[in-house]
Every structure is written in C-alpha cells, then in structure tokens.
Amino acid sequence: MTRNCLPQQLVAALAARPTTVALTGAGISAESGVRTFRDAQTGLWTRYRPEQLASPDAFERDPRLVWRWYQWRRRTIAAAEPNAGHRALVELEKALDSFTLITQNVDGLHRRAGSRNVIHLHGDLCSNRCQRCAAPSAHEDNETVRPPRCTRCGGLMRPAVVWFGEPLPASALSAAAERIAGAELVLVIGTSAQVYPAAALAEQAVAQGSMVAEINPARTPLSAKVRWRLDLAAAEALPRLAAVPRRPSAR
C-alpha cells in the first residue's frame, strides 16, 4: 500500500457499510500532544515506568507521588484538544449503521470529540473514587498535591481508572466482547496490543474471522495477523477512511 492510498479491498469493505468496531489505544491521542504509555515520560517522571505508578501497590506505598503523576497527566490532557483521528471516528459513528468505539484510553478525548457510543475499558481520569469504599466523586482540581479524603469513610480518593493488577469493569469488558463478536470490520488504532485483557479483544476479532485493519506507524504483536496494516498515524489514516464513499444506508 503506498502512503497516499488505502488498500482497495478495505475501501470496498467500508463502502458496503459493515458492522464496525474501533478499538483505540494511547496512540490515537499522540497527535493531541498526550504522551502514549510507551513514550518516554518527561521531566520529573522520566525515572518511572507507567506500570510502576499505575498500580494499587504504588498508591499504597506513596499516594502523594501517584496522585501528583495523575495531576500532571490531567493538566496535559486539559491542555489537549481532540485531533483529526478522534473527529474522523465521530464521522464514522454518524455515517455507519452500526459503529461501536471501544477505548483503552482514560483521557476523555473521544467524548470531547463528540463520540457517543463509547465503551471505556480502563475508566476515565475525569473522576475519582475512594480506594477504601469505592464511593465515586467528580474530579475538580488539577493542582492539588495530595489525594482528597472520602467524605463517606475518610479513605483516600484515587483516579477512577483501572490500575495494573485490577480487574476491568465486568460490564464494560462483556459489552466490548459482545460488540467484537458481531463485528464485520474491526479497526485497531494506536495500541501496542500488549495490555490485557484489552489486547485479547483484537485477537478475538482475528480468530473469529472479522476483517481487521491495524492503524499504527509501528508494528505490534498483532501486525502479522491482521488483514490490512496501515503504517500511518491515526490522524492521517482515519480521515481517509471516513471519506470513503458509501452506498446509501438501508436505515
């Protein structure tokens, strides 16, 4: 595939308005200036790997350090805007008869771009929950340097995201697996396909024989198994996919 065109069979598949699922990872937010998990962290955070901070043990050991890392990420995200890749997925959701977006991301950029039918596998940074009693609370202040206390039990509040070693929300995971099971076309976008069980969803799509297209400038463990590889940035590839002319809707 040359960089200027899409695989003809992918164009033909999209033109037929297939039941479509998009599975996104941190790479789709790269062009919004939000660092991916695999990118080297900057400044104070260079000495930590994300997996060392995004865990209940890390929070147990040093709640203020983990809290400050999330506050730094929240400020980065607050300064970011959805990019052309996020916006193209909104167009596909409006244009196709059946489109579901499943994301590993916690940055809220899909919702800010206007995506409606989104399954968040790993939670979202815009809210907190109590580490002791799980009471939820909105997140208001990106500047505090220590986690707030739970108004119900006095426990420490933490970001309402899924940490390594924590189970994904059962409802989100089962809804995602169900949508993948019925998908004719699966777009796997901006993920290193290394974090489970999210990565298992892409593997399920391949194993069940769905048409799978991977959009990622770098190869991943999934690359050899997919039908199409678009070695392009999401913000470059997705607008082209959204622009593919489609036959009239049966709706």
Give the span between the Cα atoms of 147 and 166, in whole angstroms.
Answer: 19
Which of 61, 146, 152, 219 binds Zn ion (CB under 5 A)? It is 152
Which of 155, 169, 197, 239 binds Zn ion (CB under 5 A)? It is 155
Token digits of residue 239? 């607008």
Q: State yes or no: residue 63 binds Zn ion (CB under 5 A).
A: no
Q: State yes or no: residue 150 binds Zn ion (CB under 5 A).
A: yes
Q: Considering CB distances under 5 to 8 angstroms, the limit depending on partner class, which of ligand BV8, Zn ion, none binds residue 130?
A: Zn ion
Q: Please report how close the Cβ of residue 100 comes to ligand BV8 at its closest, in angstroms.
A: 17
Nearer to ligand BV8, 192 or 210 (CB): 192
What are the φ/ψ torsions at residue 173 (nearest 5 degrees)? -65, -40
Give the span between the Cα atoms of 98 and 69, in whole angstroms.
Answer: 38
> Can you name the residues that pair with 21 across neighbouring β-strands?
100, 186
Footprint of ligand BV8 on this chain (CB under 6 A)? 25-27, 30-31, 36-38, 51, 54, 104-106, 122, 161-167, 190-192, 194-196, 215-218, 220, 233-234
Calculate the CA 171 to chain-centre distance. 17
Nearer to Zn ion, 153 or 218 (CB): 153
Query: Tokens 């998908």 correspond to what residue?
Result: 183
Give the span between the Cα atoms of 92 and 95, in whole angstroms.
Answer: 5
Stretch that binds Zn ion, among 23-31, 79-87, 115-123, 153-161 (CB under 5 A): 153-161
Token digits of residue 184? 């004719």
Which of 44, 153, 207, 218 binds Zn ion (CB under 5 A)? It is 153
122 is catalytic: yes
Q: State yes or no: residue 135 binds Zn ion (CB under 5 A).
A: yes
Task: Determine contact, residues 193/220, Cβ cutoff 8 Å.
Answer: yes
Instruction: Give the CA distances from residue 144 to residues 60, 75, 106, 177, in Å, rounded to whole numbers and listed in that order.
Output: 18, 11, 20, 37
Nearer to Zn ion, 19 or 127 (CB): 127
Of 69, 84, 53, the C-alpha closest to 242 is 84
Nearer to ligand BV8, 61 or 196 (CB): 196
Q: State yes or no: residue 21 binds Zn ion (CB under 5 A).
A: no
Give the span between the Cα atoms of 26 and 29, in whole angstroms.
Answer: 6
Q: Considering CB distances under 5 to 8 angstroms, the limit depending on partner class, which of ligand BV8, Zn ion, none binds residue 115?
A: none
- Determine which one of 86, 110, 120, 122 is catalytic: 122
Please give the positions annotated as active site. 122
